[in-house]
Amino acid sequence: MTAVRPSLRLEKKLLGEGRLTVIGMDEVGRGAIAGPVAVGVAAVTIDIGRVPQGLADSKLLTAQRREALDPVVRRWTRTAVGMASASVVDEQGIMPALGQAGAAALHTLVDEGLSLEGAVVVLDGSFDWLTPAVPLALRTLSDPLEVVVRVKADRDCASVAAASVVAKVTRDALMTAAHDEAPHYAWASNKGYGSTAHYDAIRSVGAHALHRKSWLHQASSVALDGFAELDALAG
């Protein structure tokens, strides 16, 4: 089966309808049990150049290819990455955490000189977790920020694919650096996701500050062999 190559078709349609900027947005780390959630953004305007060769949804690329594409994407267009920590996920829930990270990424674009007036965000997925966070975080807009939710946008839309690449590379680097502090969790390889070795390490040495404690409680609440002790280890 031929792989789908992301294009600027949707972005150009939205720009042609009068939007001034199209901002692709995608999250990384949503399903991890450790580390932050990361949300990447990539801004497209009418003068955008050709889509970088080999750009694709970060999940479809090898780590080596993602790392090679990261600087190319950053030269191609304005990008930013926002984070929400494991403690935010625990305290507020995953959807508010995603919104907080997305708003932080938008704030970075604004701080770097991009106006959000006349902008539209193309958000990968089927649920708008960004809008509830925007009124609190971006009060300078004269009109509410428009958000278009699109399933498989990370596969089909070049701006969203670019956002997924910068978010994935940034978060992976953070988890690899965290591995040096706590190598028994093997974060350099699992990037905070729940591999067998990762769960075994939690059982052996307990949970770390980077773990999402509420998620370990949830893991212990399902009837999976050996998970009962995770509840106590999560504290």
- For every residue of 165-218, DSSP letters joined together read HHHHHHHHHHHHHHHHH-GGG-HHHHTT---HHHHHHHHHH---TTB-HHHHHH
CATH code given to domain 9-178: 3.30.420.10
Q: With contact defined as beta carbons under 8 Å apart, do 195 and 221 qualify? A: no
CA distance 80 to 68: 17
Is 155 in a helix, a strand, or coil? helix
26 is in an annotated binding site: yes
Task: Assess whether pLDDT exceeds 50 at residue 232.
Answer: no
Taking a C-beta distance cutoff of 8 angstroms, is the pair 6, 158 a contact? yes
**What percentage of the chain exceeds 70 in pLDDT?**
88
| pLDDT, mean of residues 123-145 | 82
Residue whose C-alpha is closest to residue 82's, from 120, 40, 114: 40
**CATH 3.30.420.10 segments of the chain:** 9-178
Annotated binding residue 143: no
Range from 69-73, 118-122, 196-200, 214-218 carrying the lowest mean pLDDT: 214-218
Tens of pLDDT, residue by residue over 35-92, are: 999 999 999 999 999 999 999 999 999 999 999 999 999 999 999 999 999 999 999 9
Amino acid in position 203: R
pLDDT, mean over the chain = 90
Is the per-residue pLDDT at 211 higher than 80? yes
Task: Please give the pLDDT value at position 225.
Answer: 43
Q: Give yes or no for residue 169 having a pLDDT over 60.
A: yes
pLDDT in tens, 180-198: 999 999 999 999 999 999 9
Q: How far is 221 from 223, CA to CA, in rounded Å? A: 6
Helix (H) or strand (E) holding 38: strand 37-44
- Cα distances from 62 to residues 33, 85, 165, 176, 186, in angstroms, run 22, 25, 11, 16, 19
The pLDDT of 164-181, averaged and rounded, is 97
CA 128 to chain CA centroid, nearest Å: 14
